[in-house]
Amino acid sequence: MAMIMTSTLPISDRYRVKTSQLDMPPRLLLGPGPANVHPRVLATMSNPPVGHLDPTFLALMDEVRDLLRYTWQTANELTVAVSGTGSAAMEATLANVVEPEDVVLVGVKGYFGDRLVNMATRYGGDVRKITKTWGEAFTLEEIQQAIETHRPKVLALVHAETSTGVRQPLEGVAELCQKYDCLLLVDTVTSMGGVPLYIDQWGIDLAYSCSQKGIGCPPGASPFTMSPRAVAKLNSRSKPVTNWYLDMSLLTKYWGQDRVYHHTAPINMNYGLREALRLIAEEGLEQRWQRHQKNAELLWEGLADLKLECHVSQEIRLPTLTTVRIPEGVNGKAVSSQLLNDYNIEIAGGLGELGGKVWRIGLMGYNSRPENVLLLLTALEKVLAQH
């Protein structure tokens, strides 16, 4: 008979783990996200949690939904905060409207256009691509030609490409989509809360974002909205949505009047999201957009004084995220590491095709303030002098 060997150590000793008091550094997060958040948001998140079906939390969900509608400028009934990061909300848009063999046309001009292609392919879509050099935007004529050629069920565009700092103009695109019976899906991850954005006026059918950038909240609760046209496509599916967790026909029963249990929502994250959205409403959307633009222009002027070039032309440049070309002979990673280690300032390097070629500097939400711009420019000047 085989003998079972057991340890003679007490369980408390056998699995003992040494830990210390958590002490995180005071970083100034000027990369592509997450960004620092307003003290009011952090304070609100320290409120005691309640149950996910508690009447007070259900009332808070209603407030979050209404504030999201304001921030996005939409009356869409199906507007919720997905329990997850922005990538979960991104996947939710595709999961709910893409059926096998649906033609999905994706505009790829950066890293996150490629991510949309990857996700749509996994849901069985017949994915087609139009591409643009990283740092440029599509013209309306190019989009029209692609729609006429491919006749998609869904057109997916990235409004604010986080990898390049490009703002994609959307005026006129919805008219094309409606003419050719196509849904317009838009990534607003780096634009919501910091860049002019009108879901209803621009005829956007599906949009998603995240909480940790322009909205000014930690990551973990991500905005999502569907127009009546998109909801009709969802309701006419021949088979259920293949992703149970992100199935809006189920989630809307939790966020709607029925209040049917679906999952345990991140209670304190929604506290923070509500407070961040309240700050947006208090400031006013137009004032907030103007603040982001003004501080971005201050950054751009300072970069020019340092003889640094922006990667994107100003007419399509995001005020929330700027890509800066790394000068010839300069080790970009060494510069960003020194900014972090010596000055507690985080900026990021490039992704994909722009890896090693640019720095990405974010001015989003609470962080879009002139004192942050001047602090970064001063530190950057000193570090570059050593490189």
pLDDT tens digit at each of 387 positions of the chain:
555 555 565 666 667 778 889 999 999 999 999 999 999 999 999 999 999 999 999 999 999 999 999 999 999 999 999 999 999 999 999 999 999 999 999 999 999 999 999 999 999 999 999 999 999 999 999 999 999 999 999 999 999 999 999 999 999 999 999 999 999 999 999 999 999 999 999 999 999 999 999 999 999 999 999 999 999 999 999 999 999 999 999 999 999 999 999 999 999 999 999 999 999 999 999 999 999 999 999 999 999 999 999 999 999 999 999 999 999 999 999 999 999 999 999 999 999 999 999 999 999 999 999 999 999 999 999 999 998
Q: Fill in the amino acid letter for 278.
A: R
Tell me: do 259 and 319 sit in the same domain: no
> Does any domain span residue 64?
yes
Tell me: do 266 and 301 sit in the same domain: no
Residue 223: strand, helix, or coil: strand
H-run or E-run covering 351 = none
Per the rule left: phi > 0, alpha: psi between -120 and 50, beta: everything else, 245 is alpha
Residue that finishes a domain, picked among 252, 281, 310? 281
Q: How many C-beta atoms lie closer than 10 Å to residue 211's C-beta?
A: 32
Tell me: do 117 and 62 sit in the same domain: yes
Q: How many C-beta atoms lie closer than 10 Å to residue 279's C-beta?
A: 21
Tell me: do 124 and 232 sit in the same domain: yes
Residue that finishes a domain, picked among 236, 262, 281? 281
Residue that finishes a domain, picked among 281, 300, 332? 281
Question: In whole angstroms, what is the distance from residue 303 CA to residue 288 CA?
Answer: 23
Q: What is the pTM of this model?
A: 0.94
> Does any domain span residue 11?
no
Q: Which domain holds residue 182?
A: 39-281
Q: How many domains does the chain have?
A: 2
> Does any domain span residue 113?
yes
Tell me: do 252 and 349 sit in the same domain: no
Residue 59: both structure tokens together: 């009332």
> Does any domain span residue 17?
no
Tell me: do 270 and 291 sit in the same domain: no
Q: How many C-beta atoms lie closer than 10 Å to residue 379's C-beta?
A: 18
Domain CATH for 354: 3.90.1150.10
> Does any domain span residue 367?
yes
Tell me: do 244 and 366 sit in the same domain: no
